[in-house]
Homo-oligomer: A and B are copies of this chain.
Amino acid sequence: MLEIDPRSPVAINDQIKAGLKGLVAKGLLKPGDQAPSVRSLAVTLRVNPNTVARAFRELGQEGFLESRRGEGAYISDKGSRQAKDGFSDLKRALEEALKMARRGGLPWNEIESILRKARGDER
| Chain A residues packing against B (C-beta within 8 Å) | 3, 5-11, 15, 18-19, 21-26, 58, 61, 66, 68-69, 83-84, 87, 89-91, 93-106, 108, 110-112, 114-115, 118-119, 122
Contact = CB atoms under 8 A, between A and B. Distances in A.
Contacts of A111: 94, 115
B98 A94 contact: yes
Given A3-B103, A15-B103, A98 B83 contact: no
A112 B119 CA distance: 11
A77 to B, nearest CB: 12
Given A21-B104, A87-B110, A98-B115, 9 more contacts: A8-B96, A8-B99, A22-B103, A22-B105, A25-B104, A91-B110, A96-B97, A102-B118, A102-B122
